[in-house]
Structure 1
Amino acid sequence: MRHFFFDTDYGVFRTVDDVGTELADIEAAKTEARAAVADMAKDGLHGGDPRDFVVSVRDEAGRTVLRVTLALTTEYPAEGRE
């Protein structure tokens, strides 16, 4: 098992994980980071567009080993908005 830390950033909201999570490997960390980004986007939809949701994963040594980013943009084509 390895210890990973999940830092989040979406606009004005940033958190640094100082506790971390024990996971089997980097692939398990990727699964957790992707789920976290999806949850952040779901919870943060009311804050305006455009918005980037980012989870940076650090290892025990403090190195960033993975970053998952989801960009949310809403566009209104000139003919499509009423």
Structure 2
Amino acid sequence: MPRYYIDTDDDDLLVESDGSEMLTSPAEARRAALDALPDMARDKMPDGDHRTFRATVRDEHGREVYTATMTLVGTWKITPPAS
């Protein structure tokens, strides 16, 4: 049975999967990659107003088979409040 791995990158940190999550189909791996993106954004914000998040699926041979990318851009329309 083939295995798939999800690597994530938030522009600061690349995390390569250690295989602890058992993903056995391309569709299951794609769904896991897409599901990871909003969680990554929640964990990283509000650290900046521009960031690109990526989740890449690798097969058991290390080949990239799917990549999902989400770009988050926040822009103040007024003078931001003092912190």
Alignment: residue pair count: 79
- Deviating beyond 6 angstroms after TM superposition, the runs of 4 or more aligned structure 1 residues are none
Whichever structure has more strand as a proportion of its residues is 1
1:74 is matched with: 74
CA displacement at 1:20 relative to structure 2: 4.9
Aligned position for 1:59: 59
C-alpha distance in structure 2 between counterparts of 1:28 and 1:71, whole Å: 23
Contact 1:7 1:14 in 2 (8 A): yes
List runs of 5+ in structure 1 lacking aligned partners. Answer: none
Aligned to 2:47: 47
Distance in 1 (CA, whole Å) between partners of 2:28 and 2:42 is: 21
Pairwise CA RMSD: 1.6
Equivalent residue number for residue 13 of structure 1: 13
Contact 2:4–2:25 (CA<8 Å) still a contact in 1? no
Identity %: 33
With normalisation by structure 1, the TM-score equals 0.83
Q: Which runs of 5+ in 2 are unaligned?
A: none
1:15 partner letter? V
